[in-house]
Amino acid sequence: MTEERKIRVCVVVASIDILGGQAVQALRLLDGLSREQEIDAELLPINPRLPRPLRWLQRIKYVRTVVTSILYIATLLLKLRRFDVVHVFSASYMSFVLAPAPAILIAKLYGKCVLLNYHSGEAEDHLRTWPRTSRPLIRMADRLIVPSDYLVSVFAKFGFKAEHIANTVDLTRFKFRDRRSFAPVILSNRNLERHYNVGCSIRAFELIRKQVPKAQLIIAGDGSERRALQSLADELVPGGVEFVGAITPQTMPALYDRADIFINASEIDNQPLSIIEAFASGLPVVTTDAGGIPDMVAEAETGFLVSCGDFKSLASRVIRLLRDNDLASDVAARARQECGRYSWAAVSGTWLNLYRELASKREEPLTGGIKPIESTSPIT
């Protein structure tokens, strides 16, 4: 296929400057698309950097939001004209208003097809409590894609047809380590925000340490709860918890290799990348059953599921794995087999078919339908 016939896709998402699942997934998508001959894909960050002489403005609270939003909207106006498909990654609440909303509106202004890729596990509350800003804009999208059947069902409650395309993991980077013995090194890799309830993992770890005194807990990620979580860890298990902060995608595989068991206590969730990465890396997973997680983890087969907030059950499942290494090894091996459905090969055909379908559409720019307002009184 010649360069002129390539499908031009603009991927609108937070840049890797904002460490999070959406940015990681967008980079994996772009990496996969770079190997497809018929696609010419480009990243358009929702948080562009100002020119160097003005970059200091982005270090000032509130000013940062204003100047970044102005630059983002200007970039959308300048660049979206030349793409066939605008692929917009989306979270919820105010993030939806600041990032996906301008991209959707400007794309439709130019008559472009929009693929809205919604990732937030908070979708149901977002659609219910922010109906005026969420629902009309979602209806403007040509296709609504979500990473889990759980979110398909959530959107169906509000009359939206969503389609499921799974998140992906790079199996060449997250390599399976066949652990025959499992050290008591436990990993939590979630942002330190209230709905991920990392405090529940710390409370579980307190019980684990009473049974396994040499146990260690590594907490990766950052967020508004960090100070409170550090205080909780110092109170309950002094010296037992290591906070390593936000980890870049490049160094993430090494973090999984340090640990032998993965723990997650989220209360609101969708399809966590961290669980997929744990599967790929050979860590048995013990997790709460929030959101779409039960679609990923088969109880006692590919991991262990407990009720949200049940730190005692989290602890008992981890202790069971530490005491039964054969069970832990079997669970990890079965989980690794699940990773095939999270590979680029498994989802690439669906993405390509979507882009082909959307690129074949022809829409009239909204500007063509806008008429000047007629005055009913003389202009003086």
Q: What is the 3-state secondary structure (H, E, C) of 346-365?
A: HHHHHHHHHHHHHHCCCCCC
SS3 245: strand
Q: Are strands 143-146 and 113-118 parallel, antiparallel or unpaired?
A: parallel
CA distances 140 to 115, 137, 146, Å, are 10, 5, 16
Secondary structure letter of residue 206 according to DSSP: H
* Separation of alpha carbons 337 and 324, rounded Å: 21
* Separation of alpha carbons 327 and 182, rounded Å: 11
Per the structure block, which two tokens stand in for 170?
A: 């790079």
pLDDT of residue 23: 86
- For the chain, domain boundaries: 3-168+343-369, 185-340
Start-to-end C-alpha separation, the chain: 59
> Inter-axis angle of helices 344-359 and 21-33, to 10 degrees?
80
φ, ψ of residue 185 to 5 degrees: the values are: -110, 115
Indicate the burial class of 272 (C-beta count within 10 angstroms; 0-12, 13-18, 19 or more). Answer: buried
The yes or no reply on domain 185-340 and CATH 3.40.1160.10 is: no
* Separation of alpha carbons 68 and 58, rounded Å: 7
Q: What are the DSSP E strand ranges found in the chain?
A: 7-13, 39-45, 85-90, 113-118, 143-146, 163-164, 185-189, 216-220, 241-245, 261-264, 285-288, 304-306
Per-residue pLDDT of the chain (380 residues; tens, 9 = 90+): 444 579 999 999 976 555 567 888 999 999 999 999 999 999 999 987 766 666 666 666 666 677 788 889 999 999 999 999 999 999 999 999 999 999 999 999 999 999 999 999 999 999 999 999 999 999 999 999 999 999 999 999 999 999 999 999 999 999 999 998 999 999 999 999 999 999 999 999 999 999 999 999 999 999 999 999 999 999 999 999 999 999 988 899 999 999 999 999 999 999 999 999 999 999 999 999 999 999 999 999 999 999 999 999 999 999 999 999 999 999 999 999 999 999 999 999 999 999 999 999 855 554 433 333 333 333 32
266 Cβ contact partners less than 8 Å away, ≥ 6 residues apart: 121, 190, 195, 196, 197, 272, 287, 288, 290, 291, 293, 308
Cβ atoms within 10 Å of 296's Cβ, excluding its own: 27
pLDDT of residue 65: 72
Closest C-alpha among 253, 283, 328, 331 to residue 24: 253
With DSSP H G I counted as helix, E B as strand and the rest as coil, what are the percentages for the chain, rounded to 5? 50, 15, 35
Cβ atoms within 10 Å of 127's Cβ, excluding its own: 20
pLDDT of residue 369: 34
Name the CATH superfamily housing domain 3-168+343-369.
Glycogen Phosphorylase B; (3.40.50.2000)
pLDDT of residue 264: 98
Contact between 91 and 151 (Cβ < 8 Å)? no
Is-same-fold flag (3-168+343-369; 185-340)?
A: yes
